[in-house]
Amino acid sequence: MNFFSNLEIGFATALSLNNLSFCFVGVLVGTAIGILPGLGPLATIAMLLPLTYSLEPVTGLIMIAGIYYGAQYGGSTTAILVNLPGESSSIVSCLDGYQMARNGRAGAALAIAALGSFFAGTVATILIAAFSPALAEVAFLFGPVEYFAMMVLGLTAATLLAHGSFIKGVAMVLTGLILGLVGADVNSGTYRFTFGSFSLTEGIEFVAVAMGLFAFTDILTNIRGDTAREVEAPTFSNLWMTGREARQAAFPVMRGTAIGSLLGLLPGGGAMISSFASYAIEKRLSKTPEEFGHGAIAGLAGPESANNAGAQTSFIPMLTLGIPSNGVMALMIGALMVHNIAPGPYVMVSNPEIFWGLIASMWIGNAMLVVLNLPLIPLWVRLIQVHYWILFPIILTVCCVGLYSISNRVLPIYFAAGFTLVGCLFWRMRAEAAPLLLGFILGPLMEEHFRRALLLSDGDMAIFYQSPLSISMLGIAAAMCLVVLLPQIRRGRSAAFTEET
């Protein structure tokens, strides 16, 4: 098969007026729901899916895909502007993106996120087009053992995210892992830590935890200092990134793209792990790691590109193998099945216009996102420059309605209130909340793979170091811990009893 003739089929399909307009609708709806907290792409797509049944299969898929990456994009905007990770993939964007916004660089942060994502999307699309069939096999290299090792590696990277003390980061990850276990156990169906409440059987709502720990806690700790936010007249320099900022972002974007493209292939959180793997790497490589957590450009550019690249390449296992790497991909498989197209290696041969049309539309959609969003940056920047007393009630109410809309219940609002109090406690104790959130998402997956691995090996722990992939990932994780701990230990020996900060 010829690469260029394939792309030609793809662009011919994607550039038809009908498909272009549905791509635009998807991207627009996606951006909107990404920006609004609460309603995520999964819920929206599930809601809209029946509407796509009446469309041509390729048109329906193009629209769904547009919603998916549009939402990733919109999610970063909220993360940067109001410190609210609406999607698990934008937790990392909160860390430095929000700090940049607070330093008056919101415009630059948004521009970097937009252009970084576009670059990552472009590269990932080319990768999908060129190497789909070959890359698809990567997913088959990952069994329970390898996944467990990947989660350990991911969580180790997560503790390095915290700019506070390492050991508190570990404690926060563990706390998150525990909270993530609430609900029905996969293997036995036993309800754990639900305290008799049926509403908890599916676990604690992620968005409620994220809002409580991030957005609401942030409001509380900012209210008193709200005179500090002066309304500045937006000038060109604070709307757009400077040449220096662009140069600082360039390499992190490329590295992030590479990491995201690779990890996105893995079902079960690969795309998300890529964003914090990228953060950890950038922090490690940086000459000024102390800037991380205080608005480091690399700390935003890398993860943003990684998560967008990962979101794109997660289409590969879905299209080529029929393996959904996340909920949205499962929905796309559902949409294909409705049209009697079984996802798998044969789609490429039997329905080339679907396969290549979708791929071409992804690039077009990413381009639309940039065109759509760059002009909006001045608007967003002005939005957060309004008085804080106007902004925070808006955040509160919109979040509350968003929480209600998840399942048309008020329970998530009560949970968010509870986690606000917990978040205040963590703020007081100087414990970073991001590692907790990552542990919260990975907790159930990690347990599942751990138990499955031991079930397969009949209780033999050796299984974890027999697989070369697993042992190398665990080795990297151990090395990362050592790199962090050694200087502390050495310092502790030579200059015991000196204040460490």
Among 14, 29, 153, 474, binds other proteins (CB under 8 A): 29
| Residue 143 is a binding residue for other proteins (CB under 8 A) | yes
Token readout for 375 is: 């002009």
- 183-184 and 191-192: which strand pairing? antiparallel
Return d(Cα 183, Cα 204) in angstroms, integer.
Answer: 8
Q: Which is nearer to other proteins, 244 or 428 (CB)?
A: 428
| Residue 368 is a binding residue for other proteins (CB under 8 A) | no
| Residue 241 is a binding residue for other proteins (CB under 8 A) | no
Q: List helix spans (H) across 297-342.
A: 298-313, 315-321, 327-338
Among 11, 383, 405, 481, binds other proteins (CB under 8 A): 405
Return d(Cα 304, Cα 341) in angstroms, integer.
Answer: 33
Among 100, 101, 272, 332, binds other proteins (CB under 8 A): 332
Positions in 242-301 near other proteins (CB under 8 A):
267-268
Token readout for 98 is: 């929000």
* 488-495 contacts, C-beta under 8 A, 24 or more apart: 488/166
Among 165, 382, 384, 484, binds other proteins (CB under 8 A): 165
Among 7, 36, 135, 277, binds other proteins (CB under 8 A): 36
Token readout for 230 is: 């002066």
Applying CB under 8 A, the span of 12-20, 305-313, 359-367, 416-424 interacting with other proteins comes to 416-424
| Residue 25 is a binding residue for other proteins (CB under 8 A) | yes
Reference 76, options 124, 39, 110; nearest CA is: 110
Among 287, 408, 462, 494, binds other proteins (CB under 8 A): 408
Per-residue b/e over 130-168, b at no fewer than 16 CB within 10 Å?
A: eebeebbebbeebbbbbbbbbbbbbbbbbbbbbbebeeb
Q: Which is nearer to other proteins, 247 or 491 (CB)?
A: 491
Q: Which is nearer to other proteins, 152 or 297 (CB)?
A: 152
Least distance between other proteins and beta carbon 50 (Å):
6
Cα of 184 vs its chain's centroid, Å: 25
Q: Which is nearer to other proteins, 16 or 165 (CB)?
A: 165
> How far are the Cα atoms of 104, 368, 483 from residue 44, in angstroms, in the given order?
33, 20, 43
Applying CB under 8 A, the span of 102-110, 134-142, 302-310, 470-478 interacting with other proteins comes to 134-142
| Residue 462 is a binding residue for other proteins (CB under 8 A) | no
Among 75, 107, 324, 365, binds other proteins (CB under 8 A): 324
Q: Which is nearer to other proteins, 287 or 428 (CB)?
A: 428
Q: Which is nearer to other proteins, 241 or 329 (CB)?
A: 329
| Residues of the chain by 3-state class (helix, strand, coil), percent to 5 | 80, 0, 20
Reference 22, options 314, 357, 312, 333; nearest CA is: 357
Q: How many CB atoms lie within 10 A of CB 221?
A: 13
Applying CB under 8 A, the span of 12-20, 166-174, 236-244, 303-311 interacting with other proteins comes to 166-174
| Residue 397 is a binding residue for other proteins (CB under 8 A) | yes
Applying CB under 8 A, the span of 73-81, 176-184, 230-238, 305-313 interacting with other proteins comes to 176-184
> How far are the Cα atoms of 164, 259, 288, 289 from residue 491, in angstroms, in the given order?
17, 33, 19, 18
Least distance between other proteins and beta carbon 289 (Å):
19
Q: Which is nearer to other proteins, 456 or 482 (CB)?
A: 456
Among 323, 369, 436, 438, binds other proteins (CB under 8 A): 323
Applying CB under 8 A, the span of 1-9, 77-85, 179-187, 231-239 interacting with other proteins comes to 179-187
Least distance between other proteins and beta carbon 309 (Å):
22
> How far are the Cα atoms of 96, 98, 346 from residue 294, in angstroms, in the given order?
6, 9, 49
Q: How many CB atoms lie within 10 A of CB 473?
A: 22
Q: Which is nearer to other proteins, 15 or 220 (CB)?
A: 220
